[in-house]
Structure 1
Amino acid sequence: MKAKHFVTFITTAALGLLAVNVGGRVAADDNGNQAITVDTNTAIRNQTEHVASGGLYAMSHGNTPNENLLSSLKPKTFTQPGPGAQQIPNGEPTAAGDFTSTAPLATKVGAKVIIRLADIYSQWPYNYTNEQDWLKRVDTMVTSAKKSNPDAIYGYELWNEPNGTWQGQNGIGKGSWGDFDKVWQDTYKEVKKLDPNAKIVGPSLNSWQPKWMTHFLTMAKNSNTLPDVISWHQWGAAAFPQQAAALKSLEASLGISPRKISINEYGSEQELAVPGQMIHYVQNFENVPELDSADLAFWFDYGRMDNLLTDQQKPNGGYWLYKWYGDMSGQMDKTSTFSTNGNLASVANTTSDKTQTSVILGGTSGSTTVSVNGLDQAKLGKVAHVEVKESPWYGVDTAVDSPKTVESGTVDVSNGSVQVPVKNMKAANGYQVVVTPGGNDTAATGLSDAKTQATDPIRVEAEDGALTGTAKKVQGSYASGNYFVGTFDSNDSSDTMKVTAPESGTYQLELGYANGGTNKQDATDKVTLNGQQLKDAVFPYSTGWTTAVPNVDGTRKTIQYGTVSLKQGDNTLKLAKGNNAAELDYAQFTLQQTNPNDHNNGGAVVPDNSTAASSSSSSSSSVSSSSSSQAVSSSSSSTKVTAPKKSAHAVAVANASSAVEKYRLAYNKAQKTTTKAKYYKAYKRAQAKLANLKHPKTIKKAKAKVAKAKASYKKAKKAATKAKYLKEYKAAKIALNKAYIKYSK
């Protein structure tokens, strides 16, 4: 998705522009018990096809992402630019991911590619000139694709979002490009002439538009240029079943034989990859048999499987939801949540040998009872083994090593049914229930909850606190829990959070935040813990706000505030606005040292050199999940830091993080070229040291930027984000692309 043609922006005094997800589902908290019924005797698909597992620009090169990471998702399709494409979408520095470079990887992981022909143009919206030039480009692309990797081709998308990009008749209605209907017909015939067996995909509307679709299908039928696969882009899962039904009725009314559907872009920016959001799309796509493929939308960076992978190419919580989906085999079972189409969503499968049924669910908080019916008791036995896993959402750039087992044990199989309680669900997270044979020789043990450790990090979501002033809960896919606290800009803005500690002791406090202030200055918050005033929290400039699009730099950052004393039981942490403003994502406490005889009220800061000032670090964290615990650490991108065993290492990481920030700020402030060079080298050395501490096997990315090109980019980006009308927005995006092209040279 390259054009933000439907995104709403709210302008605030201090926080700039916050993108609001208008297409996604905002799950309501549900503290009551909910229910899901799985009918293994009724298949919604007789064989798993993983129709929702594709991605737009998911691959950037022949080895990015890693083949093993992709193959586990069982992708069916990718939508990628045609051979030699020049499109530079969403502020990327260069063109990448064309069919020639990515088709071999697609083949290795068992997927096929929808070739987006319009991406031969470098600008957005496309810098089309005339039909003769266009058809010449089409000839070159189709000939090249057919010659290089014909077996990797799913089909050709003749144009992208014509109802929003075609500058002429039967497009947006204005412009000098001519009649889209004629160009469609001529392009269709040209592609079929070069590749007679090729599938044609279209019209790829920017959303379901019944009036536009009616005109298009009527024209295509009359000219014998009907697409083999009908496509559009989906923003919000709930409406899709009705839209697919509307298409079916439209086809019947026009005398058109039913076509397969490809939703080759789905998921809005601030819901993308979030397990509790994406499960709704998977559910509704699987339950519509006409749906043949669906690709996650592209809003941010190439080659990250549309944000299922972190900035360090590590799986995040969304990846594991799709990994569970990819693991499904046999038939897809009917679940009750499709008919209700509410906040709770699910999909289920039973293997061909009837020895395993798995259910993926999510979208609400609270507790849910999953009833699995129609099980083969002869295969399972008198009791069934049950395992419940959770895939947490701590933000796009927080790696999750593996899902956490939260419940396990055996339950009775009664008349082919089992009941599984899934407790303490969080709306942003994903959950999996797996039922396998338990045997006939033992009695059911019941389900046991995973034991927690005192050293497990305590993460408190900022949006769950009591807010005052202008502070508001805002949705963001880069945020932990899919929400954060924004508009923290009035003098009386504050956030009061309850922190429940399993035991008293000294805890390391980490804060997630974003500071995209136009003045690029530090923001500060006043910190109070259990009524005691502590040192201020300092939030360095983070290059943008949490909801930035494109979020190239990973704007959600973290600071290691220092160590604090918590009492056993409930504690109160309050952050109140100081200088400037920062968005607040979460507060995380990790036990460093227990105080078994400490009966005070907590709140004292333990002073040491590493915590005398807040240290800023990357937006990425790492989560290690096991059957008994989750260790969350955010000192840098995809870094695992576990305390207290590695306390010396943690101090080294914090110091290295401070050095990176110190030299970055010094470099930015330097005015003379020679001074800039000096500080830049120091900054890169510090950055390399930090990377070696935490990612010895990761290829370090150079991010040197030419100052003049960077200034052009910033100016263009500002214009793009502030545009209020489509015309101004297009002009700004064109200027932005020009700046990137200049920078890349």
Structure 2
Amino acid sequence: MRKHTTTSLATTGLLAAALLVPAPAALADGNTLTVDVGSSVRTVTRVGNGGLYALATPTDPDPSLLPALHLNQLTQPPPGVQQLGNGATTPTGDALKIGQTAVSAGAQQQIRVPDIYPDFPYKWVSWDDLTAKVNTMVQQRLDRQDLTNVNGWELWNEPDWTWDTAKAGPFNDGFARIAKIVRAKDAVTPIVGPSFSKYDHDLMLSFMTAQKASGTVPDVASWHELDDGGWNSVAAHVADYRAIEKQLGISPRPISINEYGSPNQVDDPSVAVHLVAAFERSGVRDAERAYWYESGTIGGLIWNDKPTGSYWVYKWLADQSGNVVKTTPSGDFDGVASYDAVRKTVNVVAGGVYGTNNVKINGLAPLGSQVQVTVNYTPKSGRKSNVDAPTQVSSSTYTVTNGSITVPIKDQDYLGAYQVLVTPVGGAVSTQTYEAENATVVNAERLTSASASNGGYVGRIDGTGDARKDSFVDFVVNVPTAGKYTMGVRYANGGTSTATQGLAYNGSAFSTISYPPTGSWGTFTTNATASAGLDLKAGYNVIRLAKGSPNFAGGSGYAELDSITLTKS
């Protein structure tokens, strides 16, 4: 959070449209966004689907709206939060209070330590006061052994302008001091920092140099991307940070952009597309929509428990599966695209220009000689206007020539966003198969193998009896009708004896699922089937496979997870 008063291109664009003034030349039409289906960038993890103060209370926003967004990462205030952000009269968002709602949506969360204070910018009290507060919040988190989704302590927020050097001493020393306070109680949960308000080479180099010297290098590197048009700088910032790590001999850290989107542009669907595309290309682990206005709206995606225009961008991103594939922007026409080899579906989310533009998609031979293409649109509605559903612009059959098609989008709105959905003519392959690497992966690793479906799987799944270290995978599934479902698991077990994991869904009690040996690691088979049917509700459900988890004593042996398949009994 920070004060920001500049006027964005998007804001002025609305006035221009009202006055019938043409859009800026930089957004001119005649562009062709190119998608290469055969060139995989990374596994779909929905990098940008998250927010700061995204959840205000366990029921605000309506929890039933959350699974459809496949939320990846949240940043929430600590237990006992006193922060009154953006004119709020009551503190909201306590990480421990909203924790189970986030878990039920498949989301992880960082805890922002300094929001234990009411003011922003923060008013320094004393080191004794901060030490006592940190010790209290860490202990409160440790006492919550039922809560699995806290994956970081963010030690300060925007210290480049909110840290009181005169009273607290230099920030680099202060960060190390807070880190040691946390580590004295919690040696497991990752430390996140420095969370500068914007990327600055000199500040980052100084910070990382000091933390290496003190043995307190953060486990997750973080900063904010809040400037108008900031997507143009993301790649350079990431590259510069990686160079600093290499220069200092620091192993590569995951990168969290735990605030993104300026107040002028956070409600522009096209801006969301630009930013998320930059994050995906640059290898950012997670990014959270900024909290400029109301908490509990996921940065303006929901208003009065209904979608806004921007919501549909993130719903389209949530529906992506398989692998993110290469996109090459043209001018300001950019996008994020995925290809699911199991469902035979290409899902492109794009925007940023006006007039008539094209999306060229290469590598479509696996979908057949003809494909069905549906183009959908969502407008800039503002954060306080609801959009019940996207508008279908067109639905047509295209002939694939040399593996390619070119889809024109006419009369494009450069503030809105578009989805281009490509399937075989008969529709996407009907399957209830869900890839483990596309799920929420906790304390395990996404790995690649040519023998795995869609090329990815989850391994190094362990269990310790500690809610901060237990390993599990949460699958957010969407079934058409309620009823009993049998679940088959595609897995590998390179050991010599049967391995076991716990199975639970929608908060149910755990049962045990068994994985006989498959001969070697990376050799996948589908013969681990839930012994009892899963009683699923129509729509979204969350299924957990766990080596360790609250209310589950722990499994035996080891198994790698490739995918699950649900079949109506």
Measured after TM superposition, the shift of residue 150 of structure 1 is: 4.0
Does 2:40 align with 1:51? no
Q: Which amino acid aligns with 1:64?
A: D
Contact 1:24/1:268, CA 8 A, preserved across alignment: no
Q: Which amino acid aligns with 2:150?
A: I
> Does 1 or 2 have the higher relative contact order (CA < 8 Å, sep 6+)?
2
Structure 1 CA distance, aligned partners of 2:172 and 2:358? 52
Measured after TM superposition, the shift of residue 395 of structure 1 is: 2.2
Measured after TM superposition, the shift of residue 439 of structure 1 is: 5.6
The match for 1:219 among 210, 221, 229 is: 210
Does 2:18 align with 1:21? no
Does 2:296 align with 1:307? no
Task: Provide the residue aligned with 1:145 in structure 2.
Answer: 141
Does 2:68 align with 1:72? yes
Q: Which amino acid aligns with 1:298?
A: Y
Task: Provide the residue aligned with 1:532 in structure 2.
Answer: none
The match for 1:86 among 79, 82, 87 is: 82
Structure 2 CA distance, aligned partners of 1:22 and 1:421? 25
Q: Which amino acid aligns with 1:372?
A: I
1:178-257 matched pairs, under 5 angstroms:
178-235=169-226, 236-257=230-251
1:593-604 matched pairs, under 5 angstroms:
none
Task: Provide the residue aligned with 1:606 in structure 2.
Answer: none
Contact 1:354/1:375, CA 8 A, preserved across alignment: no
Does 2:364 align with 1:370? no
Measured after TM superposition, the shift of residue 146 of structure 1 is: 2.4
Contact 1:58/1:306, CA 8 A, preserved across alignment: yes
Give a deviation string over 1:225-268, Cα, whole Å, max 9, x none: 00001101102211111010010111111111111110000000
Q: Which amino acid aligns with 1:251?
A: E
SS at the partner of 1:182? helix
Task: Provide the residue aligned with 1:344 in structure 2.
Answer: 333
Task: Provide the residue aligned with 1:328 in structure 2.
Answer: 320
Task: Provide the residue aligned with 1:389 in structure 2.
Answer: 376
Q: Which amino acid aligns with 2:109?
A: V
Greater Rg over alpha carbons, structure: 1
Contact 1:25/1:237, CA 8 A, preserved across alignment: no
The match for 2:93 among 94, 97, 105 is: 97
Structure 2 CA distance, aligned partners of 1:260 and 1:56? 18
Measured after TM superposition, the shift of residue 178 of structure 1 is: 2.4
Contiguous gaps of at least 5 residues in structure 2: 14-22, 428-569
Contact 1:207/1:234, CA 8 A, preserved across alignment: yes
Structure 1 CA distance, aligned partners of 2:89 and 2:132? 27
Structure 2 CA distance, aligned partners of 1:434 and 1:319? 17
Q: Which amino acid aligns with 2:184?
A: K
CA gap of 1:302–1:439, structure 2 versus 1, over 3 A, is closer
1:392-411 matched pairs, under 5 angstroms:
392-411=379-398
Contact 2:10/2:415, CA 8 A, preserved across alignment: no
Structure 1 CA distance, aligned partners of 2:281 and 2:64? 28
Structure 1 CA distance, aligned partners of 2:96 and 2:343? 41
Measured after TM superposition, the shift of residue 209 of structure 1 is: 1.2
1:246-645 matched pairs, under 5 angstroms:
246-289=240-283, 291-310=284-303, 312-337=304-329, 342-353=331-342, 355-377=344-366, 380-438=367-425
Q: Which amino acid aligns with 2:205?
A: T
CA gap of 1:25–1:118, structure 2 versus 1, over 3 A, is farther
Structure 2 CA distance, aligned partners of 1:205 and 1:23? 25
Task: Provide the residue aligned with 1:38 in structure 2.
Answer: 35
Structure 1 CA distance, aligned partners of 2:422 and 2:407? 9
SS at the partner of 1:350? strand
Measured after TM superposition, the shift of residue 135 of structure 1 is: 1.1
Measured after TM superposition, the shift of residue 91 of structure 1 is: 1.1
Give a deviation string over 1:649-682, Cα, whole Å, max 9, x none: xxxxxxxxxxxxxxxxxxxxxxxxxxxxxxxxxx
Give a deviation string over 1:7-27, Cα, whole Å, max 9, x none: 34xxxxxxxxxx523899977
Contiguous gaps of at least 5 residues in structure 1: 9-18, 169-174, 441-745
Contact 1:24/1:237, CA 8 A, preserved across alignment: no
Structure 1 CA distance, aligned partners of 2:395 and 2:173? 61
Q: Which amino acid aligns with 1:368?
A: N
Structure 2 CA distance, aligned partners of 1:105 and 1:297? 20
Contact 1:329/1:352, CA 8 A, preserved across alignment: no
Structure 2 CA distance, aligned partners of 1:224 and 1:292? 23
Measured after TM superposition, the shift of residue 327 of structure 1 is: 0.4
Task: Provide the residue aligned with 1:652 in structure 2.
Answer: none
Give a deviation string over 1:459-492, Cα, whole Å, max 9, x none: xxxxxxxxxxxxxxxxxxxxxxxxxxxxxxxxxx
Structure 1 CA distance, aligned partners of 2:256 and 2:356? 34
Q: Give the TM-score, by structure 2 length.
A: 0.70
Between 179-188 and 300-309, report the one with greater CA deviation: 179-188
Q: Which amino acid aligns with 1:390?
A: Y
Task: Provide the residue aligned with 1:106 in structure 2.
Answer: 102
Give a deviation string over 1:486-521, Cα, whole Å, max 9, x none: xxxxxxxxxxxxxxxxxxxxxxxxxxxxxxxxxxxx
Measured after TM superposition, the shift of residue 409 of structure 1 is: 1.5
Structure 1 CA distance, aligned partners of 2:231 and 2:217? 26
Q: Give the TM-score, by structure 1 length.
A: 0.54
SS at the partner of 1:20? coil
Measured after TM superposition, the shift of residue 358 of structure 1 is: 1.2
Structure 1 CA distance, aligned partners of 2:235 and 2:9? 18
Structure 2 CA distance, aligned partners of 1:368 and 1:334? 18
1:670-689 matched pairs, under 5 angstroms:
none
Measured after TM superposition, the shift of residue 177 of structure 1 is: 2.1
Measured after TM superposition, the shift of residue 273 of structure 1 is: 2.7
Measured after TM superposition, the shift of residue 407 of structure 1 is: 0.8
Does 2:130 align with 1:134? yes
CA gap of 1:124–1:50, structure 2 versus 1, over 3 A, is same
Identity score, percent: 37
CA gap of 1:182–1:150, structure 2 versus 1, over 3 A, is farther
Structure 2 CA distance, aligned partners of 1:429 and 1:48? 23
Q: Which amino acid aligns with 2:319?
A: D
Q: Which amino acid aligns with 1:243?
A: H
CA gap of 1:32–1:77, structure 2 versus 1, over 3 A, is closer
Give a deviation string over 1:608-650, Cα, whole Å, max 9, x none: xxxxxxxxxxxxxxxxxxxxxxxxxxxxxxxxxxxxxxxxxxx
Measured after TM superposition, the shift of residue 33 of structure 1 is: 1.7
Q: Which amino acid aligns with 2:296?
A: G
Structure 2 CA distance, aligned partners of 1:61 and 1:160? 22
Task: Provide the residue aligned with 1:162 in structure 2.
Answer: 159
Measured after TM superposition, the shift of residue 354 of structure 1 is: 5.4
SS at the partner of 1:72? helix
Q: Which amino acid aligns with 1:40?
A: V
Q: Which amino acid aligns with 1:373?
A: N
Structure 1 CA distance, aligned partners of 2:297 and 2:343? 35
Measured after TM superposition, the shift of residue 182 of structure 1 is: 2.7
RMSD over equivalenced CA pairs, Å: 1.9
Measured after TM superposition, the shift of residue 421 of structure 1 is: 1.0
SS at the partner of 2:66? helix
